Structure 1
């Protein structure tokens, strides 16, 4: 029997790579997530990414491993996401440094992934990843959220100019941000794509004024 495929780029909200800003509601979603602090250019950030992908691919490739997951559907692994803010002790710092960051990175999982499936995935990758980091990974169901987002193309260091466009759009449409933190969705693999061509969706939570 043919297995139905999840075409998330075409059917799910929030993954548009159009350059114009937009307002939309993101539904409840499943994630493998892990928290961290500090400069994302340092090795610790990469190590946290490296524990997430084996988990995501263990579910995606479950059929080839003989792991039967109820209601399984074929899909492409979702992109890495980062939720970025500042450590509390640096909130009043006169100049923001990358070492001040506090973040949560994650990879979205299809709706058929349950907490039990997530735990089974963790057991299946035990021999492949750092056990301490694996223990820090958690499976979560994130609530629905009203957001504004825009596509940024280029270096992460150039994001402020794109955020300015997004902030102006939010105000002009009668909304306001409800938190200083923001989400980045890495539609390009920043480990392989040159800076000038990187595509990153910038997203912020909003409410109607």
Structure 2
């Protein structure tokens, strides 16, 4: 049976259409860094996507070739993901996309190693005539986050983000954006085939607990004590107290 991350890890890929907290475990991703408007025809963003999918599908289809990957199992290539910020260091500004900086990524199964990514990049260069040298292999450590399923145009995301921020602060936490903690989107729909008002996007933001605020929330009964929960309507004990840094770490083996 083909492994599908979306079905096996619904807490991370199929959240509710209302904000929820989630403790995100470390994940391995192939990624490309860049900047500029993602809507620019044949721009850096579209080139990055071509590289990522070429490498991802080369790894998936390795089962039909001579390259053996230890522990391999067949899998559905996971959804495209993106980490976004402004080049000037500010929060994501949808009105000034030309100032975007981004990391585009696709999750990989844990059996994928650095040498497998290097092999896939070389194969893509040979078979697809595509320079994939910009593709990196990263470990992504997000840890405590708030997330929500956004349905609609990408330009309408600010309303969903506002609801996430309100929920976060109401539960004794605060957004925790930093150099390695970014606005995160997971694209469940193909914008080439789905109308803008029906696009499904997971929006995820890093958060941390505010000292004293979380305790106050507990006293008022607004927090659920659920350490083991992956995603919860309340705040797991100790949530946001320890932030894993850095978020993006190169995998070299």
Q: TM-score, normalised by structure 1?
A: 0.90
Structure 2 contact 15–147 (Cα < 8 Å) conserved: no
Instruction: Please say if residues 51 and 129 of structure 1, whose CA atoms lie closer than 8 Å, have aligned partners that are also in contact.
Output: no
Matched, 1:208 2:209: yes
SS at match of 2:165: helix
Are residues 95 and 26 of structure 1, via their aligned partners in 2, closer, same or farther at CA, if it must alter by over 3 Å? closer
Structure index of larger Rg: 2
Superposition CA RMSD, Å = 2.0
Residue 125 and residue 168 in structure 1: after superposition, are their counterparts in 2 closer, same or farther (change >3 A)?
Answer: same
Unaligned runs of 5+ residues in structure 1 are none
- Name 1:184's counterpart in structure 2: 185
Alpha carbons of structure 1 residues 95 and 34: separation in structure 2 relative to 1, 3 Å: closer
Q: Structure with the greater relative contact order (CA < 8 A, sep ≥ 6): 1 or 2?
A: 1
Given that residues 84 and 183 in structure 1 are in contact (C-alpha distance below 8 angstroms), is that contact kept between their aligned partners in structure 2?
A: yes
Aligned length: 202
The Cα of 1:25 is off from its aligned counterpart by 1.0
User: What is the CA–CA distance in structure 1 between the aligned matches of 2:104 and 2:175, rounded to whole Å?
Assistant: 21
Residue deviations 1:120-143 (CA, integer Å, cap 9, x gap): 111111131532xx1111111122
TM-score between both structures, scaled by the size of structure 2: 0.75
Q: Distance in 2 between matches of 1:64 and 1:97?
A: 44
Is structure 2 residue 195 aligned with structure 1 residue 198?
no
Q: Which runs of 4+ in 1 moved over 4 A?
A: none
In the alignment, what sits opposite 1:130? 130
Q: Provide the rounded CA distance (Å) in 2 between the counterparts of 1:194 and 1:125.
A: 31
Change (3 A) 1:46 1:95: closer
Matches within 5 A, 1:1-209: 5-12=2-9, 13-42=11-40, 43-44=42-43, 45-88=45-88, 91=90, 96-127=95-126, 128-131=128-131, 134-179=132-177, 181-209=182-210
Partner of 2:246: none
Structure 2 spans left out of the alignment, 5+ residues? 211-253
Q: Distance in 2 between matches of 1:95 and 1:184?
A: 13
> For 1:76, what is the secondary structure of its paired residue?
coil
Tell me the SS of whatever aligns to 1:167: helix
